[in-house]
Amino acid sequence: MAKLLEIKDLRTYFHVDEGTVKAVDGVSISIDRQQTVGIVGESGCGKTITAQSILQIMPHPGRIEGGQILYYPDPDGEPVDLAALSPRGRKLRAMRGNEIAFIFQEPMSALSPIHTIGNQIMEALMIHNDGMSQSEARQKALAMLESVGMPNPEQRIDEYTFQLSGGMRQRAMIAMSLACSPKLLIADEPTTAIDVTLQAQILELLKRLKDEQGMSVLIITHDLAVVAEMADEVVVMYLGKVVERGSVKDVYKNPSHPYTRALLDSIPRVGQERRKFLTAIKGTVPDPYSIPKGCEFQPRCEHAMEGLCEVRKPEYAEISPGHIARCFLYTHNESEVG
Amino acid sequence: MAEQAVDFLLKVDDLKTHFPIRKGFLRRVVGAVKAVDGVSFTIRKKETLGVVGESGCGKTTLGKTIMRGEEPIGGEILYNNDGTIVDLLGLSGDKLREMRKHIQMVFQDPFTSLNPRMTVRDVIGEPLLINKMSKGKALDSIVSQLMQDVGLDAKYLRRYPHAFSGGQRQRIGIARALALNPNLVLADEPTSALDVSVQSQILNLMRRLQDKYDLSYMFISHNLSVVEHISDKMAVMYVGSFVECGDTQTLFSQPKHPYTEALLSAVPQSDPEVERERVILSGDVADAGHLPTGCSFHPRCRYAQDRCKSERPELKARGDDPEYLTACHYSEELDLQGIGGYKR
């Protein structure tokens, strides 16, 4: 299928007093049209910064230091390099919310408390569509609220966020992001702060809207099960790097990087044989100023090979077509292990 | 009472915690938020009871009430102190403090539940100091032992909480809870603030400590997979009351209450090949200040009948197993799907 977005060797660094945080360090991801890609990882792995880099909305002082973010507005047309655009320029502004939209974890902090939700949706519509009238925008906003399953949209459109329940706020935010029919929807932990029953509703909603609007979705989460449900492709990140990437089927059936394997083993799973103890990963994610030498995961890895993993950076190895893992287990020669 | 064979550690009977709703100039009480509304259960020694429910269902208030952090308006909390039954609600002052040693709590957020101006030694040792059980050098050695128990290096005794990661802080919280050698630990969402790789470490630690010190746990969480992993029996809570309570495996494989069925089917599966039918609940959780008549779940229940609108179902054994309780008029007639909604 035709590509929509191609992130190539992206580097987003934060230069702070304590040193340089390489939040995103050489990440490559590609998203096809109408595809759902999931990025998973623990806190601090750079998944959110990767997503924010696409629209250059990462917090200060984060900067894209290298790499390309190629966006293909037309299947056959020339791509635009979003990484080369100015974060405050008109070109990128025209893109935000219009071609590429973002939904956030916390609807309460993403929506304005002093505007009605109708006005917020209409604002997005009128900014991106020159000459759209107030009443047209209202009609469209109403239709959006209806399509996201907002109960009683005629009444709710004139209400403020504090009058809505958590689920309704989430729906209002999704309606706002989708108002301009974006080609790519980036959902950053869209269901992390909510209950399972509501999570199920929101995930079903996202799936339905994705099919209806024919858009692509990039979903960022720490929940492996959410990715398994939603995504076609999964990208596992650890300390700013992609450690494994492939189709959801391949990665979940044959997790190849020790980190992916450990993550899958460490979550309790409903309906599987009960284990008294979970397989835990030892240690914790190191702090970003003291990234381990060699392979980043090596101090916590069960399979670390002395004289190799703590010395050199591993390369990507192809496990099967389209399924890659960044680990020496698949690339080293016996002679290298010292 | 003495004649009766007692095999429970904690028995809660028809516990009710209501919060008044006040309105107007005179702050007259116009209603009540029924946060906990008639909850009964027992926990045996070395047993883990998991309590699941959506936010706002009253699971945290339930935990707080058992600790006497909130005052209930009715009910009984009986604690079995080596054969002597004590009603915790009848105690106050020194007597209550004495009993509190037996029940300790682990909190959700290790970033706010530890005082940033106290060293680890002070945090863990404080309960012992307050209860005048130890001090000075002896206290140091007890704290060191506790730190080792929870997998922390005792050389960090003098450090402050900010120097520790989230997982390590939660270990400190657990060490503090264990300082008084309790029999029962109430853990309110102990792993919700942690990353998955750290969550598994903490769950394993809790298991290990349970074996070592014969602890009973009441494990409150909204994460069904975690509760399934750790609990022997579990209770599903919906706006203030239990709708189903019993053996964990039975509850997951053959739920008897429609709310449990919906909750289970909502749990995402980390296996992309599983195909399943999902029960999507419409509407929102009922408002505990204005409960629906009859069964509080009936407005969202897809099996609801007329009887459910008027008659509130009692939580009781409806099948063969006297320990398996449900609060649904039709629990024996319905054929509900279990475990994550697998089609079988």
Tokens of B297: 């779940």
Q: Around Cβ A279, how many Cβ atoms within 10 Å?
A: 14
Q: Is there a contact between B270 and A228 (Cβ–Cβ < 8 Å)?
A: yes
Residue A181 lies in a domain: yes
Q: What is the DSSP string of A82-147?
A: GGGS-TTSHHHHHHBTTTEEEE-S-HHHHS-TTS-HHHHHHHHHHHHSTT--HHHHHHHHHHHHHH
Contact A239, A318 (CB under 8 A): no
Selected residue with higher pLDDT from A311 and A333: A311
Residues A148 and A198 reside in one and the same domain: yes
How far A187 CA lies from chain B's nearest CA (Å)?
A: 17
Last residue of a domain, one of A206, A238, A270: A238
Question: Which whole number is the average pLDDT over A142-154?
Answer: 90
- Whole-number pLDDT of residue B3: 44
Nearest Cα residue to B334 out of B279, B273, B275, B254: B254
Same-domain status, A57 and A151: yes
Find the residue in A nearest to B191 (Cα).
Answer: A267
- Is residue A6 over pLDDT 90? yes
pLDDT tens profile A110-137: 899 999 999 999 999 999 988 899 999 9
Residue B338: both structure tokens together: 């279990």
B196-213 and A258-266 helices cross at what angle (nearest 10)? Answer: 50
How far apart are the C-alpha atoms of A323 and A332, rounded to whole Å?
18
Kind and range of the H or E run holding B95:
helix B93-100
CB contact under 8 A, A268 and B228: yes
A270 has pLDDT over 80: no
Q: Judge if A275 and A155 occupy the same domain.
A: no
CB within 8 Å of B273: residues ≥ 6 apart: A249, A253
Two structure tokens written together for A13: 């660094």
Nearest CB partner across the interface for A42, out of B195, B249, B270: B195
Match 């609801």 to its residue by tokens: B304
In a domain, residue A222? The reply is yes
pLDDT at A259: 94
Residues A173, A313, single domain; the answer is: no
Asked whether residue A273 falls in the same domain as residue A197, the answer is no
Residue of B41, B43, B23, B24 whose CA lies nearest to B32: B23
Alpha carbon distance A320, B83 (integer Å):
63
Instruction: Output DSSP code: residue B342.
Output: B
Q: Which amino acid is at B315?
A: L
Task: Output the pLDDT for position A227.
Answer: 93
For residues A19 and A144, state if they share a domain.
Answer: yes
ipTM here: 0.81
Domain-located, residue A304: yes
Nearest by CB to B196, which of A166, A267, A270? A267
Q: B207 contacts in A (CB within 8 Å)? A: 276-277
State the total domains in chain A: 2
Distance between CA A221 and CA B8 in Å, rounded? 41
Residue A252 placed within a domain: no
Is the confidence at residue A267, as pLDDT, over 90?
A: no
Same domain, A160 and A15: yes
Integer-rounded Cα Rg, in Å, for chain B is: 21
Element (H, E) at A238: strand A233-238
Which of A192, A277, A278, A281 has the highest number of chain B CBs within 10 A, making it the mutation to test binding with B? A278
State the average pLDDT over residues A62-76.
93
In the predicted structure, residue A338 carries a pLDDT above the cut 70: no
Tell me which residue range forms the domain holding A115: 3-238
Residue B165: what residue type? Answer: S
Q: How confident is the model at residue A108 (pLDDT cuts 50, 70, 90)?
A: confident
Are both A191 and A273 inside the same structural domain? no
Q: Are residues A110 and A193 in the same domain?
A: yes
What is the end-to-end Cα distance of chain A in Å, rounded? 45
Chain A nearest C-alpha distance from B206 (Å): 10
The one-letter code for the residue type at B309 is K
Distance CA B139, CA B157 (A): 11
Among residues 185-214 of chain A, which lie with CB inside 8 Å of chain B?
A: 195-201, 203-204
H/E stretch holding B122: helix B120-130
Collect all residues of chain A within an 8 Å Cβ-Cβ radius of residue B198.
284
Residues A326 and A216 in one domain: no
- Whether B204 sits inside 8 A of A285 (CB atoms) is no
Assess contact for B12 and B3: CB atoms under 8 A.
no
Sign of CA dihedral B326, B332, B337, B339: positive
Q: Which chain A residues have a beta carbon less than 8 Å from that of B272? A: 228-229, 248-249, 252
What tokens were used for A226? 């959410």
Residue A248 lies in a domain: no
Report chain A residues whose CB lies below 8 A from the CB of B268. Answer: 199-200, 203, 223, 225-226, 228-229
Q: H or E element: which one contains A314?
A: none
Residues A121, A123: Cα–Cα separation, whole Å:
5
Q: Tell whether A290 is within 8 A of chain B (Cβ).
A: no
User: CA A173: distance to chain centroid?
Assistant: 17
Residue A65 confidence (pLDDT) above 50 = yes
Section A96-122 average pLDDT: 90
pLDDT of residue B4: 53
Q: What pLDDT is attached to residue A239?
A: 93
Q: Is residue A221 part of a domain?
A: yes
CB A255 within 8 A of CB A72: no
Determine the length of chain A: 338
CB contact under 8 A, B196 and A285: no
Residue identified by tokens 């970003």 is A288
In a shared domain, residues A311 and A206: no
Q: How far apart are the first and last CA of chain B?
A: 47
Min CA distance, B230 vs chain A (Å)?
8
| Inter-chain CB proximity B197 and A263 less than 8 Å | yes
Whether residue A114 lies inside any domain: the answer is yes
- Of A57, A56, A9, A58, give the one whose Cα is nearest residue A30: A9
For residues A97 and A207, give the distance between their C-alpha atoms in angstroms, rounded to a whole number.
19
Contact flag A200-B268 (C-beta cutoff 8 Å):
yes
- Beta carbons of A100 and A183 less than 8 angstroms apart: yes
% of chain A at pLDDT higher than 70: 97
User: What is the helix, strand, coil percentage profile of chain A, to 5?
Assistant: 35, 25, 40
- The torsion angles phi and psi of A54, rounded to 5 degrees, stand at -60, -40
- Token pair in block for residue B194: 């942690």
CA distance A102 to A175: 11
Per-position DSSP letters for B248-311, written without gaps between them: HHHHHHS--SHHHHHHHHHSPPS-TT--B---PPPS-PPPTTSPPSSSTTGGG-TT--HHHHHS
Q: Please choose, from the candidates B245, B209, B229, B238, the residue with its C-alpha nearest in 3D space to the C-alpha of residue B106.
A: B209
- Residue where a domain stops, chosen among A203, A238, A273: A238
* CA distances in angstroms from A290 to A18, A70, B295, listed in the order given: 11, 31, 56
Name the nearest CA neighbour of B54 among B301, B240, B295, B327: B240
Higher pLDDT, A184 or A289: A184
Cβ–Cβ under 8 Å, residues B338 and B257: no
Q: Is residue A254 part of a domain?
A: no
Q: Mark the ranges of chain B whose per-residue pLDDT is less than 70.
A: 1-5, 275, 340-344
Which CATH number does the domain housing residue A141 bear?
A: 3.40.50.300
Q: Is the pTM of this model over 0.90?
A: no
Statement to judge: residues A216 and A278 lie in one domain: no
Among B166, B269, B342, the residue with its CB nearest the CB of A229 is: B269
A47 CB burial (10 A radius; 0-12, 13-18, 19+): buried
Number of CB atoms found within 10 A of residue A289's CB: 10
CB B88 within 8 A of CB B96: yes
